[in-house]
Amino acid sequence: MPEMREITIVEALREALAEEMSRDPTVFLMGEDIGRANGVFNVTAGLQDEFGKERVIDTPISEAGFTGIGIGAALTGMRPVVEILFCDFMTLAMDQIVNQAAKLHYMTGGQAKVPLVIRTLMGAGRGAAAQHSQSLHAWVAHIPGLKVVMPSTPYDAKGLLKSAIRDDNPVIFFEDKMSYQVKGLVPVGEYTIPLGVADMKRVGSDVTFVATSSMVQVALAAAEVLEQEGISAEVVDPRTLKPLDKATILESVKKTGRAVVVDEGHLSYGVTAEIAAIIADEAFDYLDAPVKRLGAMDVPVPMAPVLEQATVPNVEQLVATTRGLFGRRY
């Protein structure tokens, strides 16, 4: 066993960035307030002091422009890690992400490579209202050519970010703002986690929760409640939406016969629909109940905390939904 210590997701991400910058001089960071200000959520704290202003670049508030610049740098021998402060602002750079970064390799017949990572923030929970709280990962997961990562633990965050930086494709890396202080065990030494490999966060036998990002914590808490009632829940964290580890999800569902998919994106046309469809298509004969989905309500995220919290899936909802799969009353 490697030596382990407990750190937060913020610390894990910072370690990943620092290690990759140390091992590869082509890795550099760009974004709003990531340098002198240490990053709005402290992820890049101290990195400008360590690596200099040329490799930790404070940008103007110009998301389209600096994302495009990241693409140009990636095409020409660099490995930029661009930070878009909230994924809500990714909308300002959508032409760059969707029409340029995602398609250049394909459109040029494999000549161009875009080893670009876009780190961005998702999720409700801070009373930040409808333009600072969205979870727009399904938008980019829809686009061929992009990879989409959404870690839920410090261990995953570090190992996946290091792999994302080494990947030759554009990778959109979603960090949940309410999970930044989540703690977990992380090895002291070097490791990476391949993109496209799901992780079993809890082993169970009666129902599979497929949960992403902050919803992994919700799923684990719901599983504890259900355990008391004699329902054993397995929690599968895909960790990456593109590529998606269908095999691990299907294997779990085939074992348990029931599935609930939980994700913080809006319920309609989103990640839960995609994963539920895969399960229905490829594990139909194993299902003992319909596949259920929990996602954010189809409303803009409201500001007032009571309203805001009611829009996001929570432990009670997941417990109640799961009881329903076993014919039990709420």
Partner 1 sequence: MMQGGLSVMELDKPLLREMYYRMRRIRRFEETAEELYKRGTVVGLLHLYIGEEAVATGVCLALRDDDYITSTHRGHGHLLAKGGDAKRLLAELCGRLDGYCHGKGGSMHAADLSLGILGANGVVGGGFGIATGAALSAKMRRSGQVAVCFFGDGAANQGIFMEVLNMAAIWKLPVIYVCENNGFGQYTRYEEATVTELPIGARAAAFGLPTAQVDGNDVIAVYQAAVQAVERARAGQGASFIEARTYRLRGHHMGDVGFARRYRTKEELEEHMQQEPVGRFRRWLLEHQVLSEAEIQEVEAQVEAELQAAIEFVNRSPIPDVSTITEHVYA
CB of 93 to partner 1, least distance (A): 9
Q: Is 214 in the site for partner 1 (CB under 8 A)?
A: no
Q: Is 144 in the site for partner 1 (CB under 8 A)?
A: yes
Closest by CA to 59, choosing from 74, 39, 77, is: 39
63 in catalytic set? yes
Q: Is 65 in the site for partner 1 (CB under 8 A)?
A: yes
Contact, 287 vs 316, CB < 8 A? no
- One of 105, 132, 137, 266 is an active-site residue; which one? 132
For residue 277, the SS3 value is helix
Closest by CA to 26, choosing from 111, 101, 100, 115, is: 115
- One of 63, 175, 234, 264 is an active-site residue; which one? 63
Q: Is 240 in the site for partner 1 (CB under 8 A)?
A: no
Name which position in 17, 73, 210, 319 contacts partner 1 (CB under 8 A). 73
To which residue do tokens 């930029």 refer? 80
CB of 54 to partner 1, least distance (A): 6
H runs (alpha helix) in the chain: 9-23, 47-51, 63-75, 94, 104-107, 137-141, 154-166, 215-228, 246-256, 271-282, 305-311, 315-325
Task: Compute the distance between CA of residue 191 and CA of residue 33 in angstroms, rounded to an integer.
Answer: 28
Which residues sit opposite 172 in a β-bridge?
Answer: 118, 148
How many residues bind to partner 1 according to rule CB under 8 A?
A: 44
Q: Is 197 in the site for partner 1 (CB under 8 A)?
A: no
Name which position in 41, 51, 66, 174 contacts partner 1 (CB under 8 A). 66
Tokens of 135: 């979870």
Stretch that binds partner 1, among 10-18, 103-111, 132-140, 322-330 (CB under 8 A): 103-111
Q: Is 230 in the site for partner 1 (CB under 8 A)?
A: no
Closest by CA to 33, choosing from 90, 86, 79, is: 86
Q: Is 100 in the site for partner 1 (CB under 8 A)?
A: yes
Stretch that binds partner 1, among 16-24, 70-78, 148-156, 263-271 (CB under 8 A): 70-78
30: enclosing H helix or E strand? strand 27-31
- Find out whether the peptide bond into 2 is cis, omega within 30 degrees of 0: no
CB of 31 to partner 1, least distance (A): 13
* The Cα angle at residue 38 between residues 33 and 41, in degrees rounded to 5: 85
132 in catalytic set? yes
Q: Is 169 in the site for partner 1 (CB under 8 A)?
A: yes
CB of 51 to partner 1, least distance (A): 12
Q: Is 327 in the site for partner 1 (CB under 8 A)?
A: no
Contact, 100 vs 71, CB < 8 A? yes
Q: Is 68 in the site for partner 1 (CB under 8 A)?
A: yes
CB of 105 to partner 1, least distance (A): 5
Tokens of 305: 């905390």
Q: Is 107 in the site for partner 1 (CB under 8 A)?
A: yes
Name which position in 108, 131, 205, 268 contacts partner 1 (CB under 8 A). 108
Q: Is 72 in the site for partner 1 (CB under 8 A)?
A: yes
Dihedral-angle region of residue 269 (phi above 0 means left; psi in -120 to 50 means alpha; beta otherwise): left
Q: Is 281 in the site for partner 1 (CB under 8 A)?
A: no
Q: Kindly list the catalytic residues.
A: 63, 132
User: Under the rule (CB under 8 A), what is the footprint of partner 1?
Assistant: 28, 54-55, 57, 59-60, 62, 64-78, 80, 95-96, 99-100, 104-115, 144-145, 147, 168-169
